Amino acid sequence: MDNATDWNNTMNASEPRGNAGLCHVRMFKPQFAPLVESGVKCQTVRPTPKRLPKPGDRISLRTWTGKPYQSKQRVLRESQIIAVEKITLCDDGREMLVGLGNKSLSPEELNTFAAADGFKSGIEMFNWFEATHGLPFEGVVISWHNKKRSDET
């Protein structure tokens, strides 16, 4: 299946694709590590990767113990991907616009989405993405099962 077809169809756990043996590693900045480890953060927004994750793939969520690439990685959580959707963030000068899959998020939906991604509000999320990646931003949101590490054994 090509990427264009993937973008036209929102992928979810009821339509697993790919090999469950694949494992994707995602690193988290220190500000997000406690939220991932505690289960508050259950998704991550990233630039579109070369190897697109698929529902059913495994994911290892990690942080650096010290300086990136010069310290060990600490596993925060290991889980299974349940959804991968296209996301676009932009600012038209009047309002913040977020497209998730084929849907535009309302301000209330944006705040709920931002909370699931570890931010206090949609405005805080927008400011972080503008400073970190620049706007407009296009990428993917990866969601995972939100079990405690001890529940997965």
Instruction: Answer with the residue of higher pLDDT: 9 or 48.
Output: 48
| Structure-token pair, residue 125 | 């999320």
Q: How far is CA 145 from CA 3, 16, 59, 65, 152, in A?
A: 24, 14, 10, 24, 10
Question: How much is the pTM?
Answer: 0.80
CA angle 12, 39, 131 (to 5 degrees): 80
- pLDDT above 70: percentage of residues in the chain: 82
pLDDT for 17-56, tens place per residue? 444 568 999 999 999 999 999 999 999 999 999 999 999 9
pLDDT of residue 94: 81
Q: Which domains does the chain carry? A: 3-146 (2.30.130.30)
Instruction: Answer with the residue of higher pLDDT: 122 or 18.
Output: 122
How far is it, in rounded angstroms, from Cα 80 to Cα 92? Answer: 35
Residue 95's pLDDT band, with cuts at 50, 70 and 90, is confident
29-42 exposure pattern, b = at least 16 Cβ within 10 A, e = fewer = eeebbebbbebebb
Please state the rounded mean pLDDT for residues 93-103.
89
pLDDT at 136 over 90: yes
DSSP structural state of residue 118: T
pLDDT at 152 over 90: no
> How many alpha carbons fall within 13 Å on the CB side of residue 110?
19
Q: Which residues pair with 140 in a beta bridge?
A: 46, 86
